[in-house]
Homo-oligomer: A and B are copies of this chain.
Amino acid sequence: MRYAPTIARLIAELGKLPGIGNKSAQRLAFHILSMPSEDVLSLSDSIVSARNSVRLCSVCQNYTDRDPCSVCSDTNRDPTMICVVENPRDVSTMERMRDYQGLYHVLHGVYSPLQNVGLDALKLKELITRLQQNDKVREVIIATNQTAEGEATALYISRLIKPSGIRVTRIASGLPMGSDLEFADDVTLSKAMRARHEF
């Protein structure tokens, strides 16, 4: 089907987004074409203005529209703890838990030589500088994903920070709540066995 060029371009642009294949892109494009003009303008404007107004917080490197961000500037939060996460989405995931009251540090990636992401690409210098300039921090919790890359990055950061005497911890891995033993993979199961604890 030869789409009109503007439709073809819209489908191509939408198809570049993560998780949007060609079929989804077509569906979205046809939906957009059927939307009222003002809704389309609002969608388009929200995209540009979010991208333009959002910067990285100079303290924790999370996305923010004011600097420092709302978490870093919140005096009710515990400044002795920093939770290191891979990306800004992980901060919202942690915040959903409503349990952690400390601060964050966003790496914007993990060490992944296979995908050409070196250690220089991560916001590690910023973390080290932050720890050097601030003697309140007592614990750094590394909450990178439980993947090979996440584990490697966690190990590297822990070795980087340990000499400074700050406590470095890693969030636990094990069987997810509500999960069946039967469906657990071997690595998770063996980690869960090794991390067993007394009642």
Contact of A1 among B35, B40, B65, B96 (CB under 8 A): B96
Chain B neighbourhood of A69, CB < 8 A: 4
Closest B residue to A12 by beta carbon equals: B46
A19 at the interface (CB under 8 A from B): yes
If A5-B65, A13-B46 touch, whether A18 touches B33 (CB-CB below 8 Å) is: no
Chain B neighbourhood of A44, CB < 8 A: 44-45, 47-48
Determine whether the beta carbon of B9 is less than 8 Å from that of A89.
no
Determine whether the beta carbon of A52 is less than 8 Å from that of B37.
yes
- Interface mask (A20-35 → B, CB under 8 Å = 1, otherwise 0): 1000101111111101
Determine whether the beta carbon of A63 is less than 8 Å from that of B10.
no
Chain B neighbourhood of A10, CB < 8 A: 46-47, 50
Interface size range on A against B: 35 or more
Contact of A47 among B2, B24, B40, B49 (CB under 8 A): B40
Chain B neighbourhood of A19, CB < 8 A: 24, 27-28
A183 at the interface (CB under 8 A from B): no
A114 at the interface (CB under 8 A from B): no
- Interface mask (A31-61 → B, CB under 8 Å = 1, otherwise 0): 1110101011111111111111110000000
A92 at the interface (CB under 8 A from B): yes
Determine whether the beta carbon of B28 is less than 8 Å from that of A51.
no
Chain B neighbourhood of A20, CB < 8 A: 28
